[in-house]
Structure 1
Amino acid sequence: MLSVADNELLTRTGPGTPMGDVFRRFWIPALLASEVGDPGSAPVRVSLLGEKLVAFRSPDGEVGLLEARCPHRHASLFWGRNEEDGIRCVYHGWKFGRDGQCLEMPAEPEDSSYRERVRAVAYPTREAAGVIWAYLGPEELKPEFPDFEFKDLPEGQFHASKRLQRCNYFQNIEGELDTAHVQFLHRTFGEHDFAPQHNFDAAENPTYTIEEHGSGILAIAQRHFPEGGNYWRITPFLMPAMTLVPSTGSHHTMTAAIPLDDENMWGFTITWQPDRPFDDEDWKRDLEGLTLHVNVDPETFIPERNRDNNFLIDRKKQMSLTDGNFTGIDGIRNQDLPVQEDQDGAICDRSTEHLGTTDRAIVAARRLMLRSAKALQKGTEPPQAQAAGAYRIHSFAGAGTEEQTWQELLAGNQPADGPLATF
């Protein structure tokens, strides 16, 4: 459990908050690249860390991200004109470049230099894997962009999606790091029952190990089988709010829980294949909304299955042991959403919970985030923000022999030039 004060510190990320300052030391997903459209398209609204912003792709193809309110009289730049070298407020025609510098004040005297002294709040952006990333912190501390494996992959080898999730960001992070829930929340019955397939029912209860690494922590779960050997799930948590989901195929998936405000978050999911493009078969399940990507309303990004329709839960399917699943809700991410959004409200009161041994990774992530926020208040910057190379890693899920260590298995599943390849 957390104290009331620490829970407050963990969950508040608006401007001027300690945890908000931590987020603002990192590059974070801001919106999908498709949202800003083609060069010269209309501006779009963006809500991020309690800030109201406007994004636009200028005619030269670069993306600008500015505070929504015009510095003049605070009219919203969302209504602005996306022109050749910046965005022009429609109220009085003041024009701002992507760096926030005021370029024109057409109603002011021609010999006035006032425009040189006026700037809009502007944030740097970077496009990678179908996502526009932003850095909202002090310019002098701007870190190198993380060396994600997907950042330079060509079109066709990545897929990015976004959803609105109506709860505090950390409720999602806790779910991503919670290995124990997989054999319950995501369990199916009948021929697709994964528990007998992996012999999880006969395996010993998992043991958990936590290791820190350059960009965060590794959450390591080990199950030992009676017939010999172990099953491992190794989940990297990357500061400030990203998780690599353990997978057994040729693809890799990263999720990010980015606060829109303290009671809502944007859930970004990026899946990539480093060696080849995806084909139709690769995406069949995802297009049906049955994995970590979900079908959403294209305007609001609200999932089609949401709390307003009880996530379309099927109680008969929930109780069927021949053709059902543990929740009665189809889709892995769809099963995550109700338990995270309905976890004691939009901001869970962690001061009254009762944690068990399966919660070690959750405790470790809380401690890392709280330690970072408290250290930053005292002037110590989070080192992970400056460790770009430490983000070039994979997760791991799979079986090993009695003799194989998790270090060996993890190292064998890493990018050749990644920091954990010789773990």
Structure 2
Amino acid sequence: MGELMRQHWMPACMIEEVAERDGTPLRVRLLGEDMVIFRDTEGRVGALDEKCPHRRASLAFGRNEECGLRCLYHGWKFDVDGNAVDMSSEPVDAKLRSTMKTKAYPVREAGGFVWVWMGDPDQVAPFDAPNWATAPDRKISIVKMHGSCNWAQVLEGSIDSAHSSSLHSSNMPTATGVSGSTATDTAWLRPSADKAPRLEVQKTPFGFRYVAIRKPIVNEDTTDYIRMTLFVAPFTVHIPSNDQYHLSQMLVPIDDENTMFYWIAWHPTKGISQDAWRKFCGAEIGKDVEPITFRKIRTLENNYLQDREAMKAGDFTGIYGIPTQDMAMWESMGKIADRGDDRLGSSDKAIFAFRTQMYRAAQAVARGEPALGAGTGIPHAKLMSFEGIVPKGTDWRLLNVSEEEMAIGADQKSRTDLEEIVS
């Protein structure tokens, strides 16, 4: 799975974390590799192996100055490309000065994130920006939160439409007079009270899309309430929008037992401010999550500060914030959940599809085949979910599907292949 991941560009951090030129270097761990991210004097972003190649001291403590990162131990200094530009402890004529390099990862900036390439440095894939990068920077808001468990059980929460009707019912209440998910300052109102959606799955070249079909409050005999979600391999999920902003998540492996959770709210013209988004999610830096590490204040050890009195008064979970409600479920499964003990139901079709597809994708990579979703031609910028009330009989597979997607093979054969798997 690590080889599969390394055929995709990985989000290392938010741009805001390394916005300052010559600012504090940022320690980052991705796929079990430790690196340091910094912005140099000229505004270029570098991503280097955290350990200095000299004696393996951490460059995260280094001096970021004059277009390079200088190790505190002996003063060796490296630029954003990993070249040694000064080695103050070595003679001026030392041959080592002209040959010394440290590992540097290719870097891109887009959509509020710093992205790094961790695969073969001689086969760097073209960078395809995600759909939210089409919005202006000021219309992209990001929640970041550390999860103390494996990335796959976090991602499975993002592709599980059924749980939102229970776990998040206080934040996503049923409401009359709305035709779709409607955002207020404190909740997303829904036009359905149906807690047992009917799920259908469609395989695609980027992963799969699936739909949760519910009965609406009004006109249930003639209409359906549709919530479509896209899984974009290997770690991105586009979940149904509301009337103010679109929603995407990235569930990024730090290592086998830790995940960085990103939740992006974005829109080309409307949207929600960064401060309001983090407040709504209970993910304000310094209040709900720690600076730098983004570890939660509400944890498994303190029962996520669950308020039983609030539960008696009507709050379903007693846990503040949608992400923390999810974290309570994911982390309580253990660092790596034993899926042999799962008892899946009909509402778990997307979960089964994900496990089956990614298992087969890992096998394919082991055989030397390209990673799922890593090929060219996938219109990442145009991939969109869908949410709303539609007439019964509407083919949900054609909702929000671009011409480019149709051209790359979202055909009947691919649908049948996966429908046979998940039936």
Normalized against structure 2, the TM-score is what? Answer: 0.84
- Is 1:314 aligned with 2:300? no
Give the letter aligned to residue 125 of structure 1: V
Contact 2:18 2:39 in 1 (8 A): yes
How many Å apart are 1:229 and its aligned residue?
Answer: 1.2
- Is 1:207 aligned with 2:212? no
SS for the counterpart of 2:91 is coil
How many Å apart are 1:149 and its aligned residue?
Answer: 2.6
Give the letter aligned to residue 174 of structure 2: F
Deviations 1:221-244 (A, max 9, x none): 223454221111111011111111
Contact 2:192 2:225 in 1 (8 A): no
Contact 1:183 1:195 in 2 (8 A): no
| Structure 1 runs of 4+ with >6 Å offset | 291-294, 420-423
Match among 239, 261, 264 for residue 258 of structure 2: 264
Match among 336, 346, 361 for residue 335 of structure 2: 346
CA RMSD of aligned residues (A): 2.7
Identical aligned residues as a percent: 35
Contact 1:246 1:396 in 2 (8 A): yes
**In structure 2, distance between residues paired with 1:291 and 1:162:** 7
Within-5 A mapping of 1:173-252: 173-188=155-170, 193-194=173-174, 198-201=191-194, 205-224=196-215, 226-252=220-246
The 3 A distance-change label for structure 1 pair 195 and 347 is farther
Deviations 1:336-391 (A, max 9, x none): 11011101x11101122111111111111112222222111111111512336432
**In structure 1, distance between residues paired with 2:160 and 2:271:** 28
**Which 5+ residue runs of structure 2 have no aligned equivalent?**
177-189, 411-423
Contact 2:365 2:371 in 1 (8 A): yes
Contact 1:248 1:396 in 2 (8 A): no
The 3 A distance-change label for structure 1 pair 312 and 137 is same
**In structure 2, distance between residues paired with 1:243 and 1:269:** 10
How many Å apart are 1:167 and its aligned residue?
Answer: 1.0
Give the letter aligned to residue 78 of structure 2: F
- Is 1:89 aligned with 2:71? yes
Give the letter aligned to residue 296 of structure 2: P
Give the letter aligned to residue 419 of structure 1: E
- Is 1:34 aligned with 2:16? yes
Match among 104, 107, 131 for residue 122 of structure 1: 104
How many Å apart are 1:405 and its aligned residue?
Answer: 1.7
Within-5 A mapping of 1:23-422: 23-188=5-170, 193-194=173-174, 198-201=191-194, 205-224=196-215, 226-274=220-268, 276=269, 278=271, 284=276, 286-289=278-281, 295-320=288-313, 324-343=314-333, 345-387=334-376, 389-392=378-381, 393-411=383-401, 419=405
**In structure 2, distance between residues paired with 1:377 and 1:421:** 28
Deviations 1:241-262 (A, max 9, x none): 1111112324111111112221
**In structure 2, distance between residues paired with 1:421 and 1:311:** 46
The 3 A distance-change label for structure 1 pair 257 and 378 is same
Normalized against structure 1, the TM-score is what? Answer: 0.84
Counterpart in the other structure of 1:4: none
**In structure 2, distance between residues paired with 1:406 and 1:66:** 45
SS for the counterpart of 1:181 is helix
How many Å apart are 1:120 and its aligned residue?
Answer: 0.9
Give the letter aligned to residue 85 of structure 2: L
